[in-house]
A and B are shown apart, each in its own frame.
Chain A
Amino acid sequence: MSSASLTPSTLESQWRLPSRGHVGMLCLIAAESAIFIIFVVAYIFYIGKSISGPTPKEVLEIPIFATVCLLSSSITIHLALSSIRREKLGAFRLWWFATFVLGAIFLVETGMEWKRLIVERGLTIQTNLFGTTYYSLVGLHASHVTVGLILLFTVAVFAFLGKVRSEHEPRLDVLAYYWHFVDAVWVIVFTVVYIVGR
């Protein structure tokens, strides 16, 4: 059965729509951004409103090293993707693993910071409004980093088994969108918690 006047084959070959993987990931990022915005709004609203307990100025130390690691991991994942586009599998594996390591360092640093705050400074999620909003916001971000690391690690395993090739690049690009999102959120969280809120 024919449609009106267009030749199906010419129209179909010109018919380009955005890739569903990218659209899907962007939608997920939109939803997650909305969740983060609400936590950031709560954090900002409660700045200075704790009725007791340690204040941010007293206990927070700016996590420069962790931040540099995490933001560098955006660069390394970008380098990993350009490597695999040019079929440089060795370089890809190197940069991809570096991304994973840098993200893991960030997470470990966050854990150590929390240990210091809880044990030495007595700040827990129950202590006061600052405690509640701080651990929730940073924790929400850290949970997203953890999910990202699990995904990165899975790909790393496949990469080291030699199963990842340039035709998989679009899917890795989708994962890289997520990872860049996680880094961008950290920029905002860092600014709100360690700069504005202190």
Chain B
Amino acid sequence: MSTDSIALTAAQDGPRPWSAAVHSWITTVDHKRIGILYIVLSLIFLVIGGIEATIMRIQLIVPHNHFVSPQFFNQMFTMHGTTMIFFVAMPILFGFGNYLIPLMIGARDMAFPRVNAWSFWLTAFGGILLYFSFIGGYGLYGAGAAPDVGWFAYAPLTAPAFSVGHSTDFWTLGLLISGIGSIGAAVNFVATILSMRCPGMTLGKMPLLVWLNLVMGSMVLFVISPLTAAQIMLAIDRFLGGHFFDTQAGGSAVLWMHFFWIFGHPEVYVLVIPAFAFISEIVPVFSRKPIFGYPIMVAATVGIGFVSFGVWAHHMFTVGMNSYANSFFALTTMVVGVPTGIKIFNWIGTMWGGKLRFKTPLLFCIAFLFQFLIAGLTGIMLACTPFNWQLSGSYFVVAHFHYVIVGAILFALFGAFYYWFPKMSGRMYNEVLGKLHFWLFVIGFHLTFDFMHIPGLLGMPRRIYTYEPGRGWETWNLISTVGTIFQGIAVLIFVWNLARSCFAGKIAGNDPWDAWTLEWSTSSPPPEYNFAQIPVVSSRRPLWDLKHPEDPDLDV
């Protein structure tokens, strides 16, 4: 089924002045444009966060290095973590969701377009406020001090006594504001998916990406709120003299940890579930088979969503909880690995018996599978509480979570970029450059993060601006730093490829991948109204049924 693609994107009365174009982007409520705004915002912060990481790796390339001061290094790891989680990962996933969900469910836009735009601008403002701290924050060290309390801002380091000046306030307020934006986006996702599906698309017939974003959106409502509450409490402590986390007045530093990790752990599932969604859409198309075990994939994701709220204190195994609490959280953490592992099997099952076409999107998905497997297994190691007593707070943990966030989530995102770029821009990217980006990034990623596990096993804690020679950490730090060069070059090639292909790529057409979900029935890019006629569907893969009327999808 194709829509009449009336080219509303073409100019109606001659070329528009650039100011009108900028105005239309700033005031847009179209989900596709807001999606692109989120993605562009994330890419800008990705580059900034990458520079912060590179500065840290250069400082750590040899022991007792003097590339940056300890104060600046501490700001770097705080800003790097905060930026990557809140201003790269969250917005880019909201961006893709925003773009794709209405198209995949046959709707014209999200449920609340104006709230959608407002949520984006709040997120953007929160990021700008956070970065303003570099020039406007007065900290312990004079004018211009970004937050330096670590991305999880443990109390009482964040108390006014130990965090003098405003650097911590920029952290608190910047994230409070962008958190409200995230809740707005999540409300939109849930309301859209529940209330705006086209006729015939029951919950059991939605594409997996839509299901997984429904789970993610529902989770965000309960995930960001504890952080918002804790940050309000921190603000009350810092601005109004409250004592929520004031240990001198009987307050509890551990209470902050509980609140933070009740947010922090489910948050990483909020980040990884949309990555699962990308894999679940791309792997079937490039294997030429439907996803293996759709109902179990949905059930496993919902299960992960619930269980992930019961594991948070595995970040606190060293805090001195009693053995029953430690055992409980070890159990729940291991349990949450079961539905997660099952999904890997389902993806392998999807590829089994298929005809794999190794285009760039699939390459990134395959690397995801290898890397997510390893990340999950190091997670199981960390779930074992006694083992955690050695590994926690060390570079082993840093390697583990970068394996998840870069090795799994970012790889899935790269796959998604290459897969949906033709739809969003109307043009094909350059396949050779895509593969070059892939291989360079794989090499760089593994150089940096494989060997990063080792210093952790040899006793190197995290968040240190330098380290002692003679402890066996030098070689591995050197290798990790070298890997960043490859990753940097790869990302530059990626950006160049996308930017150039926007103008010079081959015209993609509606459906360059021979795929099966509704977004591929529109033009590339889709018109502003998405569908001339709201589609009616009767299976999970409407376009498959149209292309293969002799073998339609059974309602399994």
Contacts and interface: CB of A to CB of B under 8 A. Distances in A.
A20 interface: yes
Contact of B187 (A27, A34, A39): A27
Contacts, number: 137
A132 B546 CA distance: 63
Chain A residues touching B, range: 35 or more
Interface stretch (A68-76, A123-131, A186-194): A123-131
Given A11-B200, A126-B240, A38 B111 contact: no
A49 interface: yes
Contacts of B191: 20, 23-24, 27
B536 A12 contact: yes
B224 interface: yes
A31 B244 CA distance: 21
Nearest to A52: B249
A116 B457 CA distance: 59
Interface centre among A18, A27, A28 (most CB of B within 10 A): A27
Contacts of A1: 1-2, 546
B229 A35 contact: yes
Contact of A23 (B195, B229, B251, B542): B195
A5 interface: yes
A20 B199 contact: no
A116 B365 CA distance: 64
B542 A3 contact: yes
A65 interface: no
A48 to B, nearest CB: 10
B259 interface: yes
Contacts of A5: 538
B183 interface: yes
A51 interface: yes
A51 B537 CA distance: 65
B33 interface: no
A5 B553 CA distance: 13
A25 to B, nearest CB: 9
Interface string A14-37: 010111100110011011101110
A2 B549 CA distance: 12
A15 B199 contact: yes
A125 B539 CA distance: 58
B243 to A, nearest CB: 5
B242 A11 contact: no
Contacts of B249: 50-51, 128-129
Given A4-B538, A132-B236, A38 B259 contact: yes
Contact of A34 (B1, B225, B237): B225
Contacts of A17: 194-197
A46 B247 CA distance: 12
Interface in B509-556: 534-539, 542, 545-546, 549, 552
> Secondary structure of the B side of the interface?
helix
B255 A45 contact: yes
B230 interface: yes
Nearest to B553: A4
B192 interface: yes
B200 A3 contact: yes
Contacts of A24: 111-112, 115, 187-188, 190-191
A64 interface: no
B200 A132 contact: no
Interface string B236-258: 11001111100001111001000
A6 interface: yes
Given A15-B200, A38-B225, A45-B255, A128 B194 contact: no
Contacts of B225: 31-32, 34-35, 38
Contacts of A18: 194-195
A136 B236 contact: yes
Contacts of A4: 538-539, 545, 549, 552
A79 to B, nearest CB: 28
Nearest to B521: A1
8 contacts: A4-B539, A11-B536, A18-B195, A23-B111, A35-B228, A126-B240, A129-B250, A132-B242
Given A17-B197, A31-B224, 12 more contacts: A3-B537, A3-B546, A12-B534, A12-B536, A20-B112, A20-B191, A24-B112, A34-B226, A35-B228, A38-B225, A38-B226, A126-B241
Interface of B: 1-2, 111-112, 115, 183, 186-188, 190-192, 194-197, 199-200, 217-218, 221-222, 224-226, 228-230, 232-233, 236-237, 240-244, 249-252, 255, 259, 262, 534-539, 542, 545-546, 549, 552
